[in-house]
Amino acid sequence: MRDILRKVFFELNIPITTNLKNDILLKKIIRRVLNRNDNTVDIGCHKGEILELFLRYAPDGKHYAIEPIPYFYERLKQKFSSVKIFQNALSDETGKQTFYWIKNNPAYSGLNKRKFSEKEIQPIEVEVKRLDELIPENVKIKFIKIDVEGAELKVLRGAERIIEQNKPVIAFEFGKGGSDYYNTTADDMYNFFAERNYDLYDFESFLNKANPYTKSTFQKAYIDNIVYNFLAISKQ
């Protein structure tokens, strides 16, 4: 029932929670950015809510989803037969690693162990890949969504080819409580995109056509920890 109510509020654009507000804003961005035949990647696909938007607004494109948790992976395979779904975790390196599945709070699962009780954590072995390995070179990616609870920079570093060749729009979460576990700072994230000629926005500032973040305003947003959903847009 909870999921049904959330979907109703989502479709009606009624932001009853902060997370729902962010998803509604992202829906508006996806609708603005995507064309019918654009190709997308959903990293940390979870239940597939954002993947559904990719399929809605780019029905003729190729879509890829990455979800390491077996339960969600199997559900996604059953629901999205036209999507290539990978049961991997992503990073800037490859090989088998332990993935910490937080069973009661799966959104907090990741490659680095977080502060949950041992009863809540189920370690599973996953195959870690770089995104550049999974997506064929002849597929031009227009939009990437990343939700990996702090490992965003590692995922981005594993997608250097795609970013360099395709200049995709990248929606990502980045904030305290996640990045800390991967020793990633606001400077690290800002510099990664600045070096690749990208501007950074939060969802609302992009939709309102405001100026992009400077390094100092991005640092402040990170320190204040109020805004944690961002959009990277190539200047080229």
Architecture of the CATH domain 2-234: 3-Layer(aba) Sandwich (3.40)
Q: Is residue 179 scored above 70 in pLDDT?
A: yes
pLDDT in tens, 57-100: 999 999 999 999 999 999 999 999 999 999 999 999 999 999 99
* pLDDT, average across residues 117-126: 84
Q: Is residue 136 scored above 90 in pLDDT?
A: yes
Predicted TM-score (pTM) of the model is: 0.93
**Cα(43)–Cα(159) distance, integer angstroms:** 12
Question: Could you tell me the CA-to-CA distances from 175 to 98, 148, 229 in Å, in that order?
Answer: 23, 11, 8
Name which of 161, 157, 134, 160 is nearest 62 in CA terms.
134
Q: Is residue 16 scored above 70 in pLDDT?
A: no
So what's the pLDDT on residue 11?
Answer: 76
**Cα(142)–Cα(138) distance, integer angstroms:** 13
Sorting pLDDT into bands at 50, 70 and 90, what band is 203?
very high
Strands of the chain, DSSP E: 39-43, 63-66, 84-86, 88-90, 95-102, 121-129, 141-146, 169-173, 198-202, 229-234
Q: Is residue 193 scored above 90 in pLDDT?
A: yes
